[in-house]
Structure 1
Amino acid sequence: MLASLILLLIISPIAARINGDYNCTYYNASIDRWKYSPAALSCSNIISDSACNVLYPDSGGYPTPDAFEDRPLACYTTSKVTPAAIVDDMKKAAIASCPKNCALCCQTPAYSCSNVAFPRLNCATITKAQCDSPTWRVIIAQDCPASCGFCNQGGCVDAILDCSNDLSICQTVGMQDFVNTYCQRTCNRCPSTTTTNTAAASSATCTSFIPDSSTSCASWAGNGFCTNSFYTLAQRRAYCARTCRIC
């Protein structure tokens, strides 16, 4: 009896390991385990949670952030045991229907994009409360869209969550300052980017540009370094004058 109990204690932690699919996870060397990142479970299921619980039943507990319960096998394989080979069609179906049950939120279209190279805050530590906060949402949408599921928003979000509950607010007299600040996406008030035009105007008289001092300018430019007003003209000129076309 004692030997059986000891064997169970030894085997149980191993059974709890993440196996097969390591997307949306990170490695914790101190305990030699893969754990789920916050982005693994930061979305909602597409269909109802009750339906997802039937389609993807847990085997001792559903995944949670910073934990290591294995995903339901149906999320990524037809096998009944782990470790198992990943079946692409099974995984695509899981992402399209029950990404939260399967801890695959980071691979949904809303989360699978790149954050900017020089964000104004640490994208890796963003919380759900910050994603919903009027103080942080607009900045996060521009700099860390993958952290809150803003990849499909084009950097434009409402600062508060209930703007779309009453669309008449967009035209209400006396509310325009409010909607211009807090309901930019719902009311189509997102400012257009003017930094590029400003940079182009400043370079109109240039016949040549000083070389870039960084080898990363191409990727930085793709993430908004040349157009995001958070970065100063001096910073753009110092690092990527040629890429950003700044005199």
Structure 2
Amino acid sequence: MLFIFSFLLVPFTNAVISGDLNCTTYNGTAFVYTPAAVACDNAISDASCQILYAAPDTLYPAAGNDAERALACYTTATATPAAVVQDMKTAALASCAKTCGLCCQTDDYSCANVAYPRLNCATITTSQCNSVAWRTIIATDCPSACGFCNQGGCVDAVTNCANDLSICNTVGMQDFVNTYCQKTCARCPSTTAASSVTTTASSGSCSSYAADSSSSCAAWAKNGFCTNTFYTTAQRRSRCATTCKLC
């Protein structure tokens, strides 16, 4: 009887992350999800995602926890061991990246950060992503933390600039927009240079270029990806060799 009573006192433990450790970090005890793992929105409703990708232990991925992903987020129920099945993962990324804790691998969140950032990219929170004090720094140093990978290093410091586009030409507001609304008002340092990137031939001797590995290259080029020195030539070539005309 004492044995049974003692057993009842033992707390039940939740499943821990296994199989796919992307978008996680080791905290000294276990692998837990980074803030970027759940920073995006699902492409379909959260309720639908929770039906399609039901959590094994009713606890879904969240920043700092170690809830197990649904197998369907990255593999099949019959896979032994639970190896990543790319078709399953691609489907999850396209529809329910947040529910699966895979936001950091979507196009907006999957890019290189600078080697020596001014803050810890792995611990950036949603409030910092929306902070006037931090947004422009994050866009430059840690674009993957806030979904700024497609922005070419240029974002508005104030999140509601686009609510009133007339502010871009309002007399007396130019100092403000030059500082806080660079993206919306096309005041980024690389904006003018970027517009000619896709039509300017490379100075190299290439007769053809490697295919772009990202479908977002055209948008990135408009935002300065091909000319912004924040990105190395190797990074540009690996993602957008054709768009950026790199040998």
The verdict on a shared fold, with TM-score over 0.5 as the criterion, is yes
What amino acid is aligned across from residue 63 of structure 1 in structure 2?
Answer: P
Count of residue pairs brought into register by the alignment: 196
> Do the aligned residues in 1 keep the contact of 2:26 with 2:32 (CA within 8 Å)?
yes
Task: State the identity as a percent.
Answer: 61
TM-score by length of 1: 0.69
1:16 aligns with 2:32: no
- RMSD after superposition: 3.0
Equivalent residue for 2:101?
103
- Residues 1:139 and 1:81: Cα distance change in structure 2 (over 3 Å): same
> Do the aligned residues in 1 keep the contact of 2:34 with 2:122 (CA within 8 Å)?
no
Alignment of 1:205-244 (within 5 A): 223=230
Equivalent residue for 2:54?
57
Equivalent residue for 1:68?
66
Deviations 1:68-121 (A, max 9, x none): 110122211220798522211111111111111000011111111111112223
User: 1:161: Cα distance to partner?
Assistant: 0.9
User: 1:134: Cα distance to partner?
Assistant: 1.0
> Do the aligned residues in 1 keep the contact of 2:36 with 2:104 (CA within 8 Å)?
yes
> Do the aligned residues in 2 keep the contact of 1:115 with 1:223 (CA within 8 Å)?
no
Equivalent residue for 1:165?
163
- Choose 98-107 or 42-51, whichever is displaced more: 42-51
- Residues 1:222 and 1:171: Cα distance change in structure 2 (over 3 Å): closer
Deviations 1:36-68 (A, max 9, x none): 122211222122222212222223211122211
User: 1:3: Cα distance to partner?
Assistant: 4.7
Equivalent residue for 1:40?
37
Equivalent residue for 1:89?
87
Quick one: distance in 1 between partners of 2:51 and 2:231?
Answer: 43
User: 1:6: Cα distance to partner?
Assistant: 3.0
Alignment of 1:193-204 (within 5 A): none
What amino acid is aligned across from residue 7 of structure 2 in structure 1?
Answer: I
User: 1:20: Cα distance to partner?
Assistant: 1.2
> Do the aligned residues in 1 keep the contact of 2:34 with 2:123 (CA within 8 Å)?
no
Equivalent residue for 1:216?
none
Quick one: distance in 1 between partners of 2:77 and 2:5?
Answer: 27
Quick one: distance in 1 between partners of 2:75 and 2:190?
Answer: 45
The one of 138, 151, 174 equivalent to 2:172 is 174
Quick one: distance in 2 between partners of 1:175 and 1:149?
Answer: 28
- Choose 140-149 or 173-182, whichever is displaced more: 173-182
Q: Which has the larger radius of gyration?
A: 1
> Do the aligned residues in 2 keep the contact of 1:56 with 1:74 (CA within 8 Å)?
yes
What residue ranges of structure 1 are gaps of 5+ in the alignment? 194-220, 226-247
The one of 122, 141, 147 equivalent to 1:143 is 141
> Do the aligned residues in 2 keep the contact of 1:117 with 1:223 (CA within 8 Å)?
no
TM-score by length of 2: 0.69
- Residues 1:80 and 1:36: Cα distance change in structure 2 (over 3 Å): farther
